[in-house]
Amino acid sequence: MRISIIGRQRCGLGESPLWDPDAQVLYWVDSVAPAIWRLDPATGEQAAFPAPDRIGSVVLGSGTDLIAGLTDGIYRVDLTAGTFEPLVRPDDMTGGERLNDGKTDRAGRLVTGTIMPAGEPPHAGKLYRFDPGGGWAVLETGVEVSNAICFSPAGDRLYFADSLRRMVWSYDYDAASGAATNRRDLIDTGALGATPDGATVDADGFVWVALVLTRQIGRFSPEGHLDRLIDTPCPYPSCPAFGGRDLDVLYVTSIADSGGRLKSDHPDAGRLMAIEGLGVRGLAETRCRL
């Protein structure tokens, strides 16, 4: 196994790495200096696309479009034109609440949760599901910092964490309806002295979680058992995603200054990492059908 620092950008709040298997490029976001970043690992070419507001996550849309969760709702992003077209703005978001982590389910719906900034009423956030056609539903309430959203290979389990509770939950997920039921505790990161941030799933169904406060990435079985821990060179690793031609490279974003709880002067804080030689492969993310 080897870990490399790649790309040129030191993000304030790097999040949401996303591999496009068609274009063979990697996307990720800087949430606080809001932009979508793109890297072609084959050439080293890197580009930034400014966003009009804080951005929590990006997923693949149709063609070359991306779908992004900004502060107040879901937007279609045309990187060629540099446009952010509003698609859905939930009308029940409270003051200060904004969208954070998000992923598509295996049917192409978008599941994303909100974050409550410091000073706002705690546990007022929600976990949303956005459906094709503009419909949406609330899957979970009482959330403070939504993170670790990902789906089992078959799409029948949803993983989700409220980071400040230090617990990753597992839900039964109905691929036909998008209903999430039977929440149970899966990974107690507090037992590791850690806090969960972003997460992804590999082809074997194991869950990879960024343990942001201990500068580690953990791999956990579908039953929640710790399989391995990887120490990272960057403080505050924030979110992992598999990419590369064979989906065998784990890309990990990190944080330099979240604008609130986390800040580091380390020269590699906020940089992008590539972990190779893990002996496992990931899954291509489903394109969003919004």
pLDDT reported for residue 142: 93
Q: How many CB atoms lie within 10 A of CB 203?
A: 14
Straight-line distance from the first to the last Cα atom of the chain, in angstroms, rounded to the nearest whole number: 38
pLDDT tier, 121 (very low <50, low <70, confident <90, very high otherwise): confident
Q: Is 190 helix (H, G, I), strand (E, B) or coil?
A: helix
pLDDT reported for residue 222: 98
Domains of the chain: 2-276 (2.120.10.30)
Residues 142, 113 contacting (CB under 8 angstroms): no
Rounded Cα gap, residues 145 and 117, in angstroms: 8
Structure tokens at 232: 């990272």
Structure tokens at 120: 């706002």
CA distances for 233 relative to 127, 144, 151, 273, 281, angstroms: 31, 28, 27, 9, 22
Specify the higher pLDDT residue, 123 or 139.
139
pLDDT reported for residue 256: 96
**pLDDT beyond 80 at 60:** yes
pLDDT reported for residue 143: 93
pLDDT reported for residue 214: 97
Q: In this predicted model, what pLDDT tens digit does every residue of 77-104 receive, in sequence order?
A: 999 999 999 999 999 998 789 999 999 9
**pLDDT beyond 90 at 123:** no
Closest CA to 155 of 134, 133, 178, 135: 178
**pLDDT beyond 80 at 30:** yes
pLDDT reported for residue 9: 82
pLDDT tier, 7 (very low <50, low <70, confident <90, very high otherwise): confident
In this structure, which amino acid lies at residue 84?
F
Rounded Cα gap, residues 251 and 63, in angstroms: 23
* Torsion-angle region of 20 (φ positive above 0: left; ψ -120 to 50: alpha; else: beta): beta
Closest CA to 3 of 245, 217, 178: 217
**pLDDT beyond 80 at 120:** no
pLDDT reported for residue 8: 82
